[in-house]
Amino acid sequence: MPELPEVETVRRGLVPALEGARITKAAVNRPDLRWPFPDRMAERLTGATVTTLRRRSKYILADLDTSETLLIHLGMSGRMTISGDPLGQFHHKHPMPAKHDHVVLDTDNGARITFNDARRFGAMDLMDTAQQDQHRLIRDLGPEPFGNDFNEAHLIAAFAGKRSPVKSVLLDQRVVAGLGNIYVCEALFRAGISPLRHAGRISAPRVASLVPIIRDVLAEAIDAGGSSLRDHRQANGELGYFQHTFFVYGREGDSCQTPGCTRKILRKVQSGRSSFYCAACQR
């Protein structure tokens, strides 16, 4: 499942072709993905201009001049690809339609944005821009990792008294929005905190240290174009490469990269997800 860096990478790739462009034609080629598409989706998108392209947690949000916002969730295998971009950053010719091209947007600048999703775990929805904070996928989200509301005091308060493992708390989207399994594992390694440790038993200074570490991990991943493990590709079709710098994720049995450490990376399943860590470096 794409996490914040992958979604942000896709958003940034879409901005030159989609932000400020008018959708001249919208084609919706099936009634649903993970959930049914909204009523008259193609009709409501056709003729609308994308005023701003934003991200909230793991969702791309396209604000329209019709006072609606298009919500895009990539799911496990969803891809947003661009063709015909007049800026010359992408392929000049539109490819032949593919089997899993479910939503296709043609714009007045000659670009075509295609949402392809083989597994159909992605989603799209249209919502009233003024009421977007009440949308069922948005209303319970916690602060953005790069926002001012995600700070030491917030995280210390969120951890206080928690008997759940720190890994589970950080994956709770009500605590911090956009974090997923990969980047929690990497952040906890850098912080020297075991994913098995109860959140409420971690000292306040150590909890506070997670804030800048989480931001650094996410920023580095965005700069690297995200992590391509299975399906993620950037909007220009290229793979991300942050996976080549993982310290622990997916490295079970490999040597710990901390200088002087002779231990191997371990894997433990927590709530159905694999946690990777070094038992010597993370306490």
Active-site positions?
A: 2-3, 58, 273
Token pair for 154: 């917030």
Contacts of 206 (CB under 8 A, 6+ apart): 191, 192, 193
CA distance readout (Å), 228 to 11, 22, 122 = 16, 31, 17
Closest CA to 84 of 238, 240, 239, 236: 236
Closest CA to 69 of 2, 24, 131: 131
Residue type, 281: C
b/e for 150-183, b at 16 or more Cβ within 10 A?
beeebbbebbeebeebbbbbbbbeebbbbbbbbb
Closest CA to 101 of 7, 27, 9: 27
Q: In what order do the strands lie in the sheet with 112-116?
A: 23-28, 101-107, 112-116, 79-83
Residue type, 206: R
Token pair for 164: 């759940």
Chain length of the chain: 283
Q: Which residue has the tokens 């049995």?
A: 253
Q: What is the phi/psi pair of residue 30, to 5°?
A: -155, 165
Q: Which residue has the tokens 């470096």?
A: 281
